[in-house]
Amino acid sequence: MSATRTLPENHNWRLQLWSWPEVECYLKHNKGVILPLGSTEQHGPTGAIGTDSLTADAIAQAVAERTGVLVAPPQPFGMAEHHLGFPGTISLQPSTLLALLQDVVISLVRHGFERIYVINGHGGNMATARAAFSQAHGRSASLGLASAPRLRCKLASWFLAPAVMSHARQLYGEREGQHATPSEIAVTLHLYPHLAEKLRPLPEPAPVGSIHGWEDFRRRYPDGRMGSDPSLATAAAGQQLVDRAVTALSEDLQRFLKAP
Ligand code: NI
């Protein structure tokens, strides 16, 4: 598989592997940082629990290699309260995630980071992440942090990039569904080919509909899927989706870094 892999394996841009003087030096010429944001939640009867974290982190590393932007440690837990009816799901309440993201952003701003680019793998994080950005703007200003006036935060959900969505539609049509989608599962197969062994034909999924808490979710979507057919996923399609996501997000990040 390694001949076809498009994802970096050298992890040159992982903050966790840098020393503080290296970060200090980086900040003299780049104020950007990527924060991968995932979730740890059920992905249907055959999908990996870590799908949203694994995909966000892998795409973030590839975007970093292409753009030369540092990547903060991936945040594996997200707002997945509605998935708690399924074993293995670990969720943060919205208020916890909001506080966590706010503290992460404030820590980074304190050292001079001014462009926080969140690469997100989970739709359930979006409202809370945006709320956290608002809080971080207010708090960094009230703390008098030197970089506060220049702070910009952006949420980039890789699965919503137009090039990714159109390719997923072309590959899977209606079978893409809304949760445990063949496109996100395909990306995990690209990253971890052995996950393909879990795939099997599945019965008709519950149709896409509303979400009201974990008990209702489990009743409406008994195997965890929302209108999707993850058995259609392939590692090759995963590679195509990653390529599109990395290109779209790298361009978006470069615009974001230059924007006033
Ligand atoms: Ni997901």
Ligand 1 centroid to 96 CA: how many Å?
Answer: 20
Ligand 1 centroid to 132 CA: how many Å?
Answer: 21
* 8 A C-beta contact, residue 77 and residue 260: no
Tokens of residue 151, six digits: 């702070």
Tokens of residue 136, six digits: 């971080």
Ligand 1 centroid to 260 CA: how many Å?
Answer: 33
Contacts of 95 (CB under 8 A, 6+ apart): none
Ligand 1 centroid to 65 CA: how many Å?
Answer: 24
Ligand 1 centroid to 80 CA: how many Å?
Answer: 10
Domain tally for the chain?
1
Let me know if 194 is exposed, middle or buried by CB neighbors in 10 A (0-12, 13-18, 19+). exposed
* CA dist list (Å): 86 to 44, 218, 221, 244: 9, 8, 11, 31
Q: What is the mean pLDDT of the chain?
A: 96
> Other CB atoms closer than 10 Å to residue 95's CB: what's the count?
11
Ligand 1 centroid to 72 CA: how many Å?
Answer: 21
Residue-range definition of the domain harbouring residue 153: 3-258
Question: pLDDT for 171-207, tens place per residue?
Answer: 999 999 999 999 999 999 999 999 999 999 999 999 9
Ligand 1 centroid to 51 CA: how many Å?
Answer: 6
- Confidence at 10, pLDDT banded by 50, 70, 90: confident
Ligand 1 centroid to 44 CA: how many Å?
Answer: 10
Ligand 1 centroid to 191 CA: how many Å?
Answer: 15
> Other CB atoms closer than 10 Å to residue 166's CB: what's the count?
11
CATH of the domain at 226: 3.40.50.10310
- What stretches of the chain show up as alpha helix (H) in DSSP? 20-26, 51-67, 94-110, 126-142, 162-172, 182-191, 213-220, 235-258
Ligand 1 centroid to 26 CA: how many Å?
Answer: 33
> Other CB atoms closer than 10 Å to residue 112's CB: what's the count?
16
Report the C-alpha gap between 211 and 220 in whole angstroms: 9
Question: pLDDT for 95-117, tens place per residue?
Answer: 999 999 999 999 999 999 999 99
Report the C-alpha gap between 134 and 124 in whole angstroms: 18
Tokens of residue 200, six digits: 């099997």
Question: pLDDT for 117-144, tens place per residue?
Answer: 999 999 999 999 999 999 999 999 999 9
Counted residue by residue, the chain has a size of 260
